[in-house]
A and B are shown apart, each in its own frame.
Chain A
Amino acid sequence: NAGVTQTPKFRILKIGQSMTLQCTQDMNHNYMYWYRQDPGMGLKLIYYSVGAGITDKGEVPNGYNVSRSTTEDFPLRLELAAPSQTSVYFCASRPLAARTRELFFGEGSRLTVL
């Protein structure tokens, strides 16, 4: 299993540009999440999904959109990028039924908006 795979690993955007951060997992996990991590800070939840076709907002959803058309994929869309969206983005997943509520994280996507 590859686990949680995020692409791209690095990206530089200009203000106002749009892009999609890709996330896919091969563990058949029902729950998927997008977090952002600013320097020296913890992770803030952007959006999450409890299954295909179901998404919901987290703590900091403004400026982002998500979709969940399949169990495997959970892309994060940035429309009209702003400098405040410069951050490291982490995708994570978790199975529906498990002893723990551990999230499995990808390696992150570092985004810079100039």
Chain B
Amino acid sequence: GESVGLHLPTLSVQEGDNSIINCAYSNSASDYFIWYKQESGKGPQFIIDIRSNMDKRQGQRVTVLLNKTVKHLSLQIAATQPGDSAVYFCAENRDDYKLSFGAGTTVTVRA
């Protein structure tokens, strides 16, 4: 089975609210995690990453939190906008070459 997965396949958010997307991983040896955004008909785009020696990392309107105790990763999007509607994937890196992806969460922003 997959070692990286998201808790919910879909998330509906009111425009302007904050979004929280969750991801669980099972391999405690993973030392690097990435969040990707995939818009319809496009390839995944990098959002933010975090190394296992960190608990939190912030970008522009996004924050990634890592809880190694329970092997949980989350992506927070502040003031969600219509352009944030997409599928969001977390991915883990267990060795230096390969990223393993979860199934994704589809975020829909309501006007």
Q: Which residues of A contact B (CB under 8 A)?
A: 4, 31, 33, 35, 40-45, 48, 50, 58, 90, 92, 100-108
* A42 engages B45 (CB within 8 Å): no
Shortest Cβ distance from B98 into chain A, in angstroms?
A: 6
Interface SS of chain A: helix, strand, loop or mixed?
A: strand
* A42 engages B49 (CB within 8 Å): no
Q: Kindly list chain B residues whose C-beta atoms are within 8 Å of the C-beta of A50.
A: 97
Q: Which of B9, B41, B99 contacts A40 (CB 8 A)?
A: B9
Shortest Cβ distance from B104 into chain A, in angstroms?
A: 6
Does any Cβ of A come within 8 Å of B93's Cβ? yes
* A43 engages B98 (CB within 8 Å): no
Q: Which of A40, A58, A104, A106 contacts B98 (CB 8 A)?
A: A58
1/0 per residue, CB under 8 A from A, across B61-105: the answer is 000000000000000000000000000010001001111111110
Shortest Cβ distance from B94 into chain A, in angstroms?
A: 11
Q: Kindly list chain A residues whose C-beta atoms are within 8 Å of the C-beta of B44.
A: 43, 90, 103, 105
* B34 engages A40 (CB within 8 Å): no
Using known A-B contacts A31-B97, A106-B43, A108-B43, determine if residue A42 contacts B89 with beta carbons closer than 8 Å.
yes
Size bin of chain B's contact surface: 20 to 34
* A45 engages B98 (CB within 8 Å): yes
Shortest Cβ distance from A85 into chain B, in angstroms?
A: 19
* B96 engages A101 (CB within 8 Å): yes
Shortest Cβ distance from A112 into chain B, in angstroms?
A: 15
Q: Kindly list chain A residues whose C-beta atoms are within 8 Å of the C-beta of B43.
A: 4, 90, 92, 105-108
Using known A-B contacts A31-B97, A101-B96, A102-B34, determine if residue A41 contacts B45 with beta carbons closer than 8 Å.
no
* A41 engages B103 (CB within 8 Å): yes
* A102 engages B46 (CB within 8 Å): yes
Q: Kindly list chain A residues whose C-beta atoms are within 8 Å of the C-beta of B100.
A: 45
Beyond A35-B101, A101-B32, 6 extra complex contacts between A and B, CB < 8 Å: A41-B104, A42-B103, A50-B97, A90-B43, A101-B34, A101-B96
